[in-house]
Chain A
């Protein structure tokens, strides 16, 4: 009974946010870290042998697939880089925040959660690198999770799939048109297609502007080293429509879901494959426009509750190695200097 009470007192202290338990964890982490390193080194041959036995065929087929994918992606990456650069220039011109303007720290994953009931990974950077609780964590593909515990030289990242994870997001229905950036000096055959190619191209409506010198449907940006000087911007009628909701993890076995999507007639039916990006905002822990995933299933609900969306994440959470922690804190979380 006494032992049970001790545990309950510890639980209560931790749930009340007492610093005593986090201090105990921090001290224990310092003591335990060298032991863990030694055990890791000693047991590495065993774990390598295990992987060799159980994953050999998978790795071979995955390797073949990846080679094919790399070949496909190389061309697309060049085009994407140009588009990203143009987007950042436009955002900067208009004084809008971009991810490129946020400092970040690159960290390596050094361990997974040693439990069947928690989805966290441990990274080898901590508070000495400027990392704080709540900061968003990304990899090359998109959002991975957020920092949930920070120690001096390590931190724990709660993955998006964790049932405790929640984030304000935007659903971006793809516009039903095809827009293109034109690079001077290049022939038509090298035009870069930005929007989905599966949708049918519609005729752009004729819009007359009264602003002198402004032509709807195109804009000019300052010259850049890539030589791109003009960008076709769709008129408002064919811009992607956005709607906000809350993304919630459902555990590692299930896809994350999005709730609280309002049924706005202007937004229309949510399309399978619609992009999910972070919404940002003064209270959100993540800045806007971090790629999260795509809609894989829409579950309609009666009444005003709005549909539930199942999200296919762009990141492979089972295979994380290097992560980027954005040193971003919302305005409401920033301490006064």
Chain B
């Protein structure tokens, strides 16, 4: 029983549950609200936020899990989103190397920049697996708008990822 409780209260169980809700928002509300014709990639934003808050390792695992769930609702090859999200989660974890004591706004800037990189990496990965036609100037426009939107939403996602992935202190 105790083991079950430990599993349910673990950060990874919380991650899956929060990611399910985020995926629900991604496929419904945020799929329709497209400022400047671009969808806000909530799942990518969450992976990057986790990386900036908890470092590369947690960021990469979060990216893999969240990306795999996202892959399940996409028509693109399975594993592509998990690979890209895992990479950007890992990259976002290098924040402490550049900023000694990150503030909320410096995290937001990093999240915006890394999200834009992730949004560019996706069509690059599509091209690598043989799906052509997405890597063009419009992809740069999408990445720029994504940077703007994720930067604006980052102050909400930093505490969300902090709460989701915090490790319970065992006594």
Task: Show the binding face of A for B, using Cβ within 8 Å.
Answer: 3-4, 6-15, 21, 24-25, 28-29, 32, 35-36, 38-40, 43, 46-47, 50-51, 111-118, 120, 148-149, 156, 158, 162-164, 249-251, 253
Nearest CB of chain A from residue B31's CB, rounded to whole Å: 5
A contact residues around B80 at 8 Å (CB): 7, 11
Which residues in B have some Cβ–Cβ distance to A below 8 Å? 20-21, 23-33, 38-39, 41, 60-61, 63-64, 67-80, 82-83, 86-87, 119, 122-123, 126, 129, 131-134, 136, 138-139, 142, 146
Partner of A114, one of B74, B79, B87: B74
Rounded to whole angstroms, the CA-CA distance of A116 and B121 in the bound complex is: 12
A46 touches B29 (CB 8 A): yes
Residues of the B chain whose Cβ atoms lie less than 8 Å from the Cβ of A25? 71-72, 78
A177 to chain B, nearest CB (A): 40
Contact of B20 among A35, A47, A148, A158 (CB under 8 A): A35
CA distance A250 to B132 in the complex (A): 9
Task: List chain B residues, Cβ under 8 A from A15.
Answer: 77, 129
Residues of B within 8 A of A51 (CB): 32
Find chain A residues with CB under 8 A from B87 CB.
Answer: 4
Q: Inside 8 A of B38's CB, which chain A residues have their CB?
A: 116
Number of A-B contacts (CB under 8 A): 142
Chain B's interface: helix, strand, loop or mixed, by majority? helix
Chain B contacts for A10, CB-based, 8 A: 68, 71, 78-79, 82
Distance A15 CA – B131 CA, assembled complex (angstroms): 11
Closest residue of chain B to A25 (Cβ to Cβ) is B72
Partner of B133, one of A8, A43, A148, A164: A164
Sample of 17 A–B contacts (CB below 8 Å):
A3-B61, A4-B87, A8-B79, A15-B77, A24-B72, A25-B78, A36-B28, A39-B25, A40-B28, A43-B25, A50-B32, A111-B27, A116-B38, A118-B76, A158-B75, A164-B131, A251-B138
Q: Do B83 and A148 touch (CB < 8 A)?
A: no
Known: A38-B24, A111-B28. A3 touches B75 (CB 8 A): no
- Assembled-state Cα–Cα distance A251/B123 (Å): 12
B77–A116 touching, CB < 8 Å: no
Closest A residue by C-beta to B63: A3
- Are the CB atoms of B26 and A3 closer together than 8 Å? no
A164→B24 CA distance, assembly (Å): 26
Cα distance A15–B126 in the bound complex, in angstroms: 12
- Measured between alpha carbons, how far is A21 from B68 in the docked complex, in Å? 11
Which residue of chain A is the closest to B24 with respect to CB atoms?
A39
Q: Which residues of A contact B139 (CB under 8 A)?
A: 117
B78 touches A163 (CB 8 A): no
Residues of B within 8 A of A7 (CB): 64, 67, 79-80, 82-83, 86
A114 engages B26 (CB within 8 Å): yes
Q: Which residues of A contact B79 (CB under 8 A)?
A: 7-14, 21
